[in-house]
Amino acid sequence: MRTALSTLIALFVSAAILEAVDFSGTWDTTYGIMFLQQENSHVNGYYTYEAYSTVDGEVGPDGRLVFTYREPNASGEGWFDLSPDSMSISGMWRPDGGGEWYEWEGYRAGAGITPSNWLVILESEWQTSLSENEYSFGEMLIAWFARVPGVNVRHRFIHDVDDLAAFCLESSGLPGDLYLVIASHGSSSGIELASGTVSSREFVDAIRPCSNLAMIHFSCCEIMSGRLPQAIISSRSSWPADFIVSGYSRTVDWGASGLIEIFYFNQMLENGFSPSDAANSVIEDIDFAGQSSTRLMDAAGFTWIKAE
């Protein structure tokens, strides 16, 4: 009887510990930004060290997460303990085959930083040879929003899916609303990077950690005529009330897209419009933005879809 009672008490204690311990979230760690997702006792996720690396493990009765990790050129094992206030993790790791243990620590990404609006531009280089001058859509937006308080702009170049996933993972830890811009060549099949076309599944997987997304805009030709926008909307049921995916259904002139997008993001980030109200404003105030051409400018095909 005493043994059964002790076992029952131990089970209740273990269940209480598991309920109190949750490693889910985005962490700024010794080896880069890490995103963890916990379901019952199982935890998996990924981090940015050596491009895209993964973690998979279990939380034990004592609340310790014991995991294995896999990087492009290495793998091993480790463990994390969660601090009493759930704001930091500390642990150790070692490579496969045993040997010396090394420290691995982290804290919740964005802790202590004032929430803000974050405009993150992930861009593919447009020029293809040294004979071309360098130019960048992201640099234009950096210069424009330098004058707007409360807006932080981050601009990074991406070349493949690993770059996309790594920068989206980092963006998930930014405290505040994330306005994500993808600037590249595109078609109805998806965005075009140096490594090839990014599939809908690859893109959805890349943005999965970004619970702070306010909207996504594709500064790319023809994206809105393909399946990617709807795949994004369908990928989760917990989008913010006014979350939208926007972009172009046609081949768009560089100058036209520049005018449209400075106006569009200015409506949101300086004038306080919601994403869908800003998108409506683009159509109402810029004659060539939608599906109708003007005398001097072809229709840009700007459009959007909204989460229900």
**Domain extent for 88:** 21-108
Contact in structure between 71 and 62 (CB atoms under 8 Å): no
Whether residue 12 lies inside any domain: the answer is no
Boundary of a domain, candidates 108, 124, 143: 108
The per-residue pLDDT for 90 is 97
The total number of structural domains that make up the chain? 2
Token output for 221: 């030709």
Contact in structure between 243 and 235 (CB atoms under 8 Å): no
Whether residue 225 lies inside any domain: the answer is yes
Residue 20: which residues within 8 A CB-CB, separation 6 or more? 63
Whether residue 267 lies inside any domain: the answer is yes
Strands 302-306, 190-193: parallel, antiparallel or unpaired by DSSP?
unpaired
The identity of residue 110, as a single letter, is: G
pTM of the model: 0.84
Q: Is there a single domain that holds both residue 206 and residue 123? A: yes
Q: Is there a single domain that holds both residue 38 and residue 65? A: yes
d(CA 250, CA 28): 40
The per-residue pLDDT for 114 is 66
Q: Is there a single domain that holds both residue 197 and residue 265? A: yes
d(CA 128, CA 120): 23
Count the residues in the chain.
Answer: 308
Residues of the chain with pLDDT under 70: 1-19, 111-115
Boundary of a domain, candidates 50, 80, 108: 108
Q: Is there a single domain that holds both residue 35 and residue 149? A: no
pLDDT in tens, 157-210: 999 999 999 999 999 988 899 999 999 999 999 999 999 999 999 999 999 999
pLDDT in tens, 221-244: 999 999 999 999 999 988 998 999
Boundary of a domain, candidates 108, 135, 157: 108
The per-residue pLDDT for 195 is 93
Task: Estimate the crossing angle of helix 254-269 against helix 137-145, to 10 degrees.
Answer: 30
Mark out the alpha helices in 149-294 (DSSP H runs).
161-171, 200-207, 228-234, 254-269, 275-285
Q: Is there a single domain that holds both residue 152 and residue 296? A: yes
The per-residue pLDDT for 19 is 64
Q: Is there a single domain that holds both residue 151 and residue 99? A: no
Residue 78, domain CATH: 2.40.128.30
End-to-end CA distance of the chain: 56
The per-residue pLDDT for 3 is 62
Residue 145, domain CATH: 3.40.50.1460
d(CA 183, CA 158): 10
Q: Is there a single domain that holds both residue 204 and residue 301? A: yes
207 CB neighbour count, 10 Å cutoff: 22
The per-residue pLDDT for 85 is 92
